[in-house]
Amino acid sequence: MQLKSIAWRAALPLPLVALALLFTLLLRQWANVPFWFMFLIAVIASAWIGGRISGWIAVILSTLSVDYFFTRPLYSLVIDPTDAPYFIAFTLSMIVGNWFGTWRQSTDVAARRTQAELESRVRAGSDELIRANRAREQAERERRIAELRWQAVFENSVVGVVLADEQGRIIASNKRYRALLGRGDGNTAGDSLAGDLAEPQRTSLNRQLAELVAGQRQRVELELPHRGGNGTPLWLRTHVTVVPGTPDFPRFLTAFCEDMSGRKHAEEALLAARSDLAHATRLTMMGELAASIAHEVNQPLSAVVTNSNAALRWLAGATPNLAEARSTINWIMRDAKRASDVIARIRALMRKAEQPLEPLNFNDVVRDSLDLVRSELARHKVEVELELDPALPTVMGERIQLQQVFLNLVINAIEAMAGVQGRPHRLFIRTASQAGEEPGIVAEITDNGPGVAKDNLEQLFAAFFTTKPEGTGLGLWISRSIIENHAGHLLALPNEDQGMRFRIVLPCTSEPAQGPAGASISGAPL
């Protein structure tokens, strides 16, 4: 307790007891009866207002005052035995008054404290309420801002955005998606994500969505032909993922749809241009081959003429030698067939229309192509060494296109070696199967010409790159595009000693190779 408070409590009984004494003295003048209740009031008031200390000081002061002023002998602190009972009764009543006043004061203090506590709790509670209210308002404001932002991104996105349920039914779609599908401001809710697709794409998308929902895949990414506005074809690349659910909202799918139609058209145009170029190159190549083809066809035709003369001679005698004539006619038929085979192959090479993919043995492509350049190889004194894998697996391909690639590589090798003097010209052709993750076949054409520096190998495949005065620079470019269209690779590698090595890699089907297995021919010039 503070000193100031103690002094105040000690001083409080003085005026109260003094007032009680004064009134009691005045009343004695008037009635000559001691009205001690005034002291009782002073004691109770002191204890009530000032507490225990004030109460006891008031008791002492009142007792002393009554002893001095009202107990015989008067004006002395001595007590006459006859007044002692009254005095003791007075003192006891003062003590009781003090107890009563102190009790009231303590209950008042407790009540005030309780009230203060209550008030402070109410105040704290209402502060907390205000704070909670403010936080709620702030959260609500932030939620509204986030929603507005999200809405702006959703609606103004340059790609189509769709939210769909686990069955692929649209919950909401943005403006771009509706515009792509020609739905304007129409409602797409409830439509299926795959709804505008034709079969088998519809089943394929639905199956992949089901796998996504079942957790068998992380995402669905497809490029599919949808039906755009006015029924025009629309290529959409659709990327779908699952958004996990919350206690209030089940999980759902988000699909982002990008319009790939422009790119598709450009790709188609590029393919058409490549096809035209390929055709042009094929014709150019045919020009270059014309001489050797003429030679190739001329040989059997001359044989046909010679053998026809011989047959006529066998028949012209007095006794025609029918056996010899028959055998000569058989030779004629064989040579005519050879000439017609060559023509058929040339015609196939010149045909522009795309051939269907067919399962084929690459060894056959090698042999057929070599047949076409047989005389060219002989003219340039090129020794061909073949190492063809007899167990080569089947590849799916367009026979004529693959022949075109192979021929291009062989002719390039012949031309490269033509400038080399002082060593035999060797062409080594090898095929082999390739195991591993991507099973396939490898075909390599290795020459011992001048070769190309390691750093310049990639530029050989650039369109219009040529080092030949009459070259087009398109052969390797087209060859690579053909092989890549077959999902394969065409690589240029430096040969270890001298010259170049080109490697064709093609993926294979699981079927075993059909047709006769290629025999290994080593060191046999063709």
Which parts of this chain interact with ligand ADP (CB under 6 A)? Answer: 408, 412-413, 416, 447, 449, 451-452, 460, 465-468, 471-477, 500
- Alpha-carbon distance of 133 to 130, in angstroms, equals 5
**Of how many residues is the chain composed?**
526
Strand, helix or coil for residue 196 = coil
Q: Are strands 358-360 and 395-397 parallel, antiparallel or unpaired?
A: antiparallel
Please name the amino acid found at residue 98.
N
Indicate the helix (H) or strand (E) that contains 485.
helix 475-485
Closest CB to ligand ADP among residues 68, 465? 465
Q: Which residue has the tokens 């026809």?
A: 308
Tokens encoding 6: 């103690």
- Alpha-carbon distance of 254 to 247, in angstroms, equals 19
Q: Which residue has the tokens 């659709």?
A: 238
H helix and E strand count, the chain: 12, 12
CA nearest 255: which of 170, 178, 196?
A: 170
- Alpha-carbon distance of 103 to 188, in angstroms, equals 81
Closest CB to ligand ADP among residues 222, 418? 418
Please name the amino acid found at residue 385.
E
Is the C-alpha dihedral spanning 336, 342, 343, 348 positive or negative? positive
Closest CB to ligand ADP among residues 306, 472? 472
- Alpha-carbon distance of 310 to 317, in angstroms, equals 12
CA nearest 367: which of 517, 227, 263?
A: 517
Tokens encoding 477: 């470019």
Cβ neighbours of residue 443 under 8 Å, at least 6 residues apart? 362, 366, 406, 429, 430, 431, 503, 504, 506
Whether residue 73 is preceded by a cis peptide bond, meaning omega within 30 degrees of 0, is yes
For 211, list phi and psi in degrees, rounded to 5: -65, -35
Dihedral (Cα; 178, 180, 184, 188), 10-degree rounding: -30
Per-residue DSSP letters for 140-156?
Answer: HHHHHHHHHHHHHHHHH
Closest CB to ligand ADP among residues 235, 502? 502
Minimum CB separation of residue 521 from ligand ADP in Å reads 21
Tokens encoding 74: 């008067």
Task: Give residue number: closest CB to ligand ADP.
Answer: 475
Neighbours of 235 (CB within 10 A): 18
Tokens encoding 481: 């595009």
Q: Which residue has the tokens 């054409």?
A: 445
